[in-house]
Structure 1
Amino acid sequence: MQAFVLRIAPSEIDRVPEALENNQLIIGWADAEGLLDDQLDWAAFRQVVRDSYYRDDKTLHRAGAAAGHMWRFIREMARGDLVVVPYGSNFYVAEVAGDAIYLPEKSSEDSAYRRPVNWLNAKQPIPRAYAKSALISRMKVQGTSASATDLLDEIRECLEVASSGATPSFHSDFQSSLVERALNELRHGRIDSFGFENLIKNLFRSLGAKEARVVPRNQDKGADVVATFLVAETFPLIVAVQAKHWQPEPPVDRHVIDQLVSGMEAEAADLGMVITTGTYSDDASRAAKEYLENAGMKIELVDGEQFAKMIIEHGIGES
């Protein structure tokens, strides 16, 4: 069994209620007809998407990203797989029930590509608070879709708690209380911006970073913390972080994303993160998505609640 995350908002229009009513998943790029042809290899598949939407682009960044989402939806999803659909402060889970289809009558609404599903948990939403930090992060994916097979156990656990109708356990109540207290301390406790940067550095070390350092202010090129993780204990993956020790208002805005991109370039980073004790504006989320689609730069946005949950789940390392 595989698992995926899918945003159902083709052309930035919310189609989740329609998807629930019709027992379907819905994705955009409807003008790229012919993608159901299983004779298309990856290059030909991507070319259809490029010819339909990105013909004038000088690079394949946007065409490749869009084709990747469509390939995942059409070719990789299979009967029995689980699909998590984020929706505000909640999420839904569906089980794939059949192959992808194309409905020409829905092309003008950019919702022609669909998949039949069985919605689990009686089509009822599941609060994001039930999810662990890794699943919350995956549901914040900047693009339309992402693989989540590594989080199958967490998805099943959320389903079990939600579908049982049971009241939250002592463990979940206790953890929620700890998260709330940690978030309150992050926002109002005895920690300043320097302490917040060091807290991020120590958390990364707890998460397995081989190296993590706070960038001195006089050397700051847009990244406050830089960490290096080793993939397969061999290949370095560099993470650059903008740290914002802010209150919920005002939310982190687009200019912070632009600052981070400058830091990513200076540090030759593979992944960017903005970590805040506050929240994010819609413009910041759009900026992260645009950098991914236009330049292939992956940026994660971690808000205060998610960061507090990460601390509770993984600790804060050495003080």
Structure 2
Amino acid sequence: MQQAFILRIAPSNVNKVPLALKSDQVIIGWSATAGLLDQTLSWKAFRKKLHDTHYATEKNLRRAGAAAGHMWRFVRDMKMGDLVVVPNGPKFYLAEITSDALYLPEHAGEDTSYRRNVRWLNNKKAIPRDFAKAPLISRMKVYGTTALATDVLDDIRDALARAEAGNKPSFKDELQTALVKETVEHLRSGHMDSFAFEHLIKDLLIQMGAKTATVVPRLLDKGADILATFRVAETFQYTLAVQAKHWNDKAPVNNKVVEQLIDGIEAANANLGMVITSGTIAESAVKAAEEYAEATGIQIELVDGDQFAKLLIEQGIGKW
């Protein structure tokens, strides 16, 4: 079965997307740790190699574990024929994997030793994020080096088909863009206060498949405004903690909001966090989410007003 992955190509926090396009490869960091291609390594041995090289001074294995998760996904989980989505600013690239993982020691100095050969799709042309549906846009905003995206494979194929058709928006695309703009305006200036905003998010989560979704009473709020549970294959359950921030025209959502959510995640023992706002998101919030994901392995998704409006439209507001 074909799989799909999100991959941020920025080893050592340096954008290497141009190099990836030129070399027809996808690239990941942690090059100082050689030997990760050894298929006999257990998970613990794999993680230990990364810990000893990159995180030897850390008191616990959290950062090493997060790094190992990304590297394991790149080295072990990705297979030939799988698709890779590479976010790059307001656009993204798509590639199909054509080789096993490689280690090129001569590139260790620039932290680009671990690579995979790929065939870039859409003639190596970037695809505007607006061509993607909301679930794929959301997945591309997951902060971390890699993420599994097989569950949005149909959305990836749909975005590629739109791009290959000539990057010309259809009437449906134009209509959706207009609806998103109108919805954002209503979210910010309509009959909506913070309480109504929280209940709107709760209803959206139920529409998206949550088994339960509860607005936490203000007196019991420990950092999460909404708690929702999802079940996978009716067997595994995970908890999502949400911090809701209604429109504030004076300031975007910043790192303090993410820190509040982290308190809520830990208090509820949640598996995933999400900040949803009808406004905008500051770079400090992005950085705080990235640092928390790296330290704990728990992802925090940041959903701004445009993305939230798109989710409302795609899930069908009129059904509620």
Corresponding position of 1:229: 230
Cα 1:172–1:190 shift into 2, 3 Å: same
Within a 5 Å distance, the mapping from 1:38-57 to structure 2 comes to 38-57=39-58
Within a 5 Å distance, the mapping from 1:1-319 to structure 2 comes to 1-165=2-166, 167-247=168-248, 250-316=251-317
TM-score by length of 2: 0.94
Cα distance, 1:201 vs structure 2: 1.2
In 2, the alpha carbon distance for the partners of 1:163 and 1:216 equals 48
Which has the larger displacement, 1-10 or 235-244?
A: 235-244
In 2, the alpha carbon distance for the partners of 1:294 and 1:246 equals 30
- 3-state secondary structure, aligned to 1:134: helix
In 2, the alpha carbon distance for the partners of 1:82 and 1:234 equals 27
Cα 1:171–1:251 shift into 2, 3 Å: same
TM-score by length of 1: 0.94
Cα distance, 1:318 vs structure 2: 7.7
1:107-130 deviation line (CA, Å, top 9, x unaligned): 111111111111111111101111
Cα distance, 1:286 vs structure 2: 1.6
- 3-state secondary structure, aligned to 1:263: helix
In 2, the alpha carbon distance for the partners of 1:210 and 1:247 equals 31
- 3-state secondary structure, aligned to 1:26: strand
**Does structure 2 retain, via aligned residues, the 8 Å contact 1:206–1:317?**
no
- 3-state secondary structure, aligned to 2:285: helix
Which has the larger displacement, 67-76 or 244-253?
A: 244-253
In 1, the alpha carbon distance for the partners of 2:18 and 2:229 equals 42
- Structure 2: gaps spanning 5 or more residues: none
Q: What is the aligned length?
A: 319
Cα distance, 1:91 vs structure 2: 0.4
**Does structure 1 retain, via aligned residues, the 8 Å contact 2:66–2:296?**
no
In 2, the alpha carbon distance for the partners of 1:257 and 1:312 equals 26
In 2, the alpha carbon distance for the partners of 1:273 and 1:266 equals 15
- One-letter code aligned to 1:208: G
In 1, the alpha carbon distance for the partners of 2:249 and 2:82 equals 37
- 3-state secondary structure, aligned to 1:57: coil
Identity percentage of aligned residues: 57
Cα 1:166–1:226 shift into 2, 3 Å: closer
1:255-274 deviation line (CA, Å, top 9, x unaligned): 11111111222223222211
- One-letter code aligned to 1:153: D
- 3-state secondary structure, aligned to 2:93: strand
Cα distance, 1:20 vs structure 2: 0.8
- One-letter code aligned to 2:223: G
Cα distance, 1:243 vs structure 2: 0.6
In 2, the alpha carbon distance for the partners of 1:123 and 1:297 equals 32
- 3-state secondary structure, aligned to 2:30: coil
- One-letter code aligned to 1:189: G
Cα distance, 1:146 vs structure 2: 1.1
Cα 1:67–1:234 shift into 2, 3 Å: closer
Cα distance, 1:251 vs structure 2: 2.0
Cα distance, 1:179 vs structure 2: 1.6
Cα distance, 1:233 vs structure 2: 3.2
In 2, the alpha carbon distance for the partners of 1:164 and 1:317 equals 31
**Does structure 2 retain, via aligned residues, the 8 Å contact 1:225–1:242?**
yes
Cα distance, 1:131 vs structure 2: 0.7
In 2, the alpha carbon distance for the partners of 1:136 and 1:318 equals 23
Cα distance, 1:202 vs structure 2: 1.3
CA-based RMSD: 1.8
Cα 1:291–1:15 shift into 2, 3 Å: same
- 3-state secondary structure, aligned to 1:279: coil
- One-letter code aligned to 2:129: R
**Does structure 1 retain, via aligned residues, the 8 Å contact 2:275–2:301?**
yes
- 3-state secondary structure, aligned to 1:108: helix
In 1, the alpha carbon distance for the partners of 2:111 and 2:249 equals 35
In 2, the alpha carbon distance for the partners of 1:226 and 1:288 equals 18
